[in-house]
Structure 1
Amino acid sequence: MARVLLAEDDSAISEPLARALRREGYDVVVCGDGLQAYEAGRSGPDLVVLDLGLPRMDGLEVCRKLRADGRTAPILMLTARADEVDTVVGLDAGADDYVTKPFRLAELLARVRALLRRTGPGDVPDKDVVRIDPQARRAFLGEEEMQLTAKEFDLLRVLLREQGKVVSREQLMREVWATHWYGSTKTLDMHVSVLRRKLGEDVARPRFITTVRGVGFRFERTDQV
């Protein structure tokens, strides 16, 4: 089980984020200030999620000290400051990536997975990686091949191609079902529902396909960030 150090002093952020990380299968250690984060970071976590504005020792200093100590675990910075200077300073301090607050949980989790895959611990969960082989018309969830109908595969193909972007109902109907479509989109809703089940989604907390009311659907980024 990959171990994630979460250093965030705002409990409104740290508590739900820690729960989400644990649901993903990670062992999570939470710290509320920079000195605690530095000490915990020296114990060898597989990844550090580090808030820039920590009390007692800010995130930049924690990052610099961990790198100076030879700690190589990837560091994902959380920052409420979006300007380029802060980003460059954070990366120069040794951070591997950054996310600006407020952030979408799905995006942050995707970045965590990407950083852990890059460093290659053998026990990183890969159940959330969705990929397709368009030529062979095969789809995979992790290492398991999914059994999809022709329409389900085409629907997944379009959503994956546009992952991270909203795809309108009209575009999906046009590309998957017909060149021009003016009728009901109930058949689309039915296929999305089935596809979600095959992706193992929790209806209350979708991880892959997000409904954008009044517009269409968005496939959250999983294999890319």
Structure 2
Amino acid sequence: MNQHILIVEDEEKLAALLGDYLKQAGFESDWIEDGLAVVPSVRQRMPDLILLDLMLPGRDGLEICKEIRSFSEVPIIMITARVEEIDRLLGLELGADDYICKPFSPREVVARVKSVLRRSGEHQAPATGGLALDPERFQALLNGRDLELTAVEFKLLHFLFQNPGRIYSRTQLMDRIYSDQRIVSDRTIDSHIKKLRKKLSSVAPDQELIHSIYGVGYKFEAP
């Protein structure tokens, strides 16, 4: 499957030009012109990279970058006609991976996209297994896709994720997940693990992240 680039740009002709060049380079792309629509779109379908214009109707590109960084490490290349050094630094401090100033060559943008994606792939830690967790939102993304976990499923995954390789018994997991000391059976944990595995498998069927240790318990371990 071709990598998916999200173009966030309010100049239609420029966005179309970038889309054409990206298509020729083997990428898929979508275009958004309204700043208010960006974050909902990213949450619904996580792109492989975002080309994000700084000046947008509805919402500023820097604010968008900052919010996206609160739940995702998707590579972001900022695009702007404002070349003041403070904007350049602020954009990068908010989590942008690169910065391109207008006017630019579309070929240069494609080259930067390839470079950032290559750098991002090298930097990605294999120990996470493509998993990104946001405890504030109880949101888990696997390979950029929302797993749509329940609160208990998220707590369970988050705890195991934070302690990779360590085996926990069902009792230890129950004590950790149910802080109100409610009475639950071993089968309750098994049921949550089964549902959790099913959701993980629906996104990455060839990747086992939660391992069952017969007669002992469970552990998180990326391949």
- When the two structures are superposed, what TM-score results if normalisation uses the length of structure 1? 0.52
Tell me the equivalent position of 2:110: 109
**How far, CA to CA, are the matches of 1:5 and 1:17 in structure 2?**
11
1:78 and 2:79 correspond = yes
Mapped pair 1:27 → 2:28: yes
Provide runs of 4+ in structure 1 moved above 3 Å: none
Bigger helix fraction: 2
C-alpha separation between the residues in 2 aligned to 1:106 and 1:29?
Answer: 18
How many percent of aligned residue pairs carry the same amino acid?
A: 42
Matching residue within 41, 58, 61 for 2:60: 58
Q: Indicate whether 1:67 and 2:83 are aligned.
A: no
Report matched runs for 1:197-216 at 5 Å. none
1:4 and 2:5 equivalent? yes
Structure 1 residue runs without a partner (length 5+) = 122-225
How many angstroms does 1:107 deviate by? 1.2
1:71-108: CA deviations, max 9, x gaps? 11110000101111110111111111010000111211
Q: Which amino acid aligns with 1:61?
A: E
- Equivalent-residue separation in structure 2 for 1:54 and 1:41 (angstroms): 16
Aligned twin of 1:199: none
Return the alpha-carbon distance in structure 2 between the equivalents of residues 40 and 19 of structure 1. 21
1:13-162 correspondence to structure 2 within 5 Å: 13-42=14-43, 43-68=45-70, 70-120=71-121
Query: Structure 2: how far apart are the matches of 1:33 and 1:89?
Result: 22
Cα distance between partner residues in 2 of 1:103 and 1:79: 10
Please provide the CA RMSD for this pair. Answer: 1.2
- 3-state DSSP class of the match of 1:89? helix
What is the one-letter code of the residue matched to 1:48?
Answer: I
* Structure 2 gap ranges (5+): 123-223
Deviations 1:107-150 (CA, angstroms, capped at 9, x unpaired): 111100001111229xxxxxxxxxxxxxxxxxxxxxxxxxxxxx
State the AA in 2 paired with 1:76. I
User: What amino acid maps onto 2:76 in structure 1?
Assistant: I
In 1, the alpha carbon distance for the partners of 2:113 and 2:17 equals 15
Q: TM-score, normalised on structure 2?
A: 0.52
